[in-house]
Structure 1
């Protein structure tokens, strides 16, 4: 049975079938249609998902703890918070960050993705320039742009605390894993249902009106894993970097779910006309 990993083949089959009926689609149009059929926002998101499951054998598994004293290349983020399980494409223009990505690619592909406290800081290099919690992520791929910048796809793996930084050819970080609490509690399970209900109101969607199994189109996993649910909903909110960072720093899953409900209950920020 085909799944999202067969998307390119499915797009080609669709294009050929429609062509036989004198209906022409470009390659790009067929890919966009398949992405939507499979429940993804667009082809770029689906392509990143496919790349994430095709990571090389050298990639680190999500639960592999960092070694004591190990320094991992750092990718600072000006205005984004990466969560575990989150796949994102980011643009890297700063020289040290490019060096960090290239170093990761010739090694185990791991980087530390962490938000800067001040987005305007072009050369963050001290520990107080960053928030204390980030994530270890895998570099799925990178593409060099015409201007020399890199377009990098990263996949978040696990929460970590920044212990110390080293500043050299690139910025490196010694990190410590952050243990989660309460993910298997009854309260977390109950709050998971409440989070899904709150998200329906927040995003103005009705899960009950969708075909069975189509919740995936909103990137929401099964509520059987409260931590995964929380970390999947969090990036979907129109919240500030500070608010999302607070969610990332919350190791207690029950507290994180409660905070998500509070943020969604406040509603989306009103757009200024």
Structure 2
């Protein structure tokens, strides 16, 4: 019996079966269908699950440093101009030596990083006072050094987390603890989603994209996606990341939509 790790084979089998009925779909489309069939958000999330399962079969790497408290001490990668959300897979570009050392420390451990946005883009050497308190715990999926020396690191963002204790010497490290969503499947959250759908076209002057319909049953993820589509700036996007009450998160987004797009 096949399992999720056979997704690519399953996708090809699906394409072949549809082709016999004169139905043509792309390989990417077939991967998305398989991901949905397996109950996952999309191919990116399924690919991350496959990567994680393969990592479990590999020889174990050194465990992350445990702190005396309940959190885990993780290397920190500050981001200049982007806010990362859970359940996304994204590249990060590492040019600063301190951040490079943090990535190398993660790779020599269990591959986990804490990715967090800095408050000022032009700060080349941010300390913890220069970082927002909430970011995401991320798993390194792949890394490579570009011809110009920049390190390209592909990460899978797993969960919101908050800094509870600062640490590190040659690079930033922090003890972090997960931030759990509240009221994610409350009826009020679904009602707010419908209002946001209605307000979206007036705000953006475009119909709601497929990405929003894809997460119409997951209000928390829906809020994360729509705030990025709104392009409201780092401050407001970070505010959504830091708001763990999904109803409050959706209320903020709806209020910004009703105020109209930034001039």
Distance in 2 between residues matched to 1:224 and 1:155, nearest whole Å: 22
Q: Which structure 2 segments of 5+ residues have no match?
A: 20-25, 33-41, 57-66
Equivalent position of 1:108 in the other structure: 110
Q: Secondary structure at the match of 1:55?
A: helix
The verdict on how the C-alpha distance between 1:52 and 1:255 changes in structure 2, with shifts beyond 3 A counting, is same
SS of the residue corresponding to residue 255 of structure 2 reads helix
SS at match of 2:126: coil
> Contact 2:8–2:31 at 8 Å: present in 1 too?
no
8 Å CA contact 1:159–1:248 kept in 2: the answer is: yes
Structure 2 counterparts to residues 173-192 of structure 1, below 5 A: 173-192=174-193
Residue in 2 that maps onto 1:239: 232
2:78–2:118: 8 Å Cα contact kept in structure 1? Answer: yes
SS at match of 1:56: helix
Root-mean-square deviation over aligned CA pairs: 3.4
1:168 to partner: Cα distance: 1.8
Structure 1 residue 92 displacement after superposition: 0.8
Query: Out of 34, 51, 56, which is 2:52 matched to?
Result: 56
The residue number in structure 2 matching 1:99 is 101
Residue aligning to 2:162: 161
Paired positions, count: 230
In the TM superposition, residue 264 of structure 1 has moved relative to its aligned partner by: 2.8
Distance 2:187 2:222 in 1: 15
Q: Residue in 2 aligned with 1:23?
A: none
CA–CA distance in structure 1, aligned partners of residues 89 and 71 of structure 2: 27
Residue 220 of structure 1 deviates from its aligned partner by 4.6
| Pairing of 1:131-146 with structure 2 (within 5 A) | 131-146=132-147
Once the two structures are TM-superposed, the CA of residue 130 in structure 1 deviates from its matched residue by 0.7
1:69 shift after superposition: 4.7
- Larger relative CO (CA 8 A, sep 6+): 1 or 2? 1
TM-score using structure 1 length:
0.71
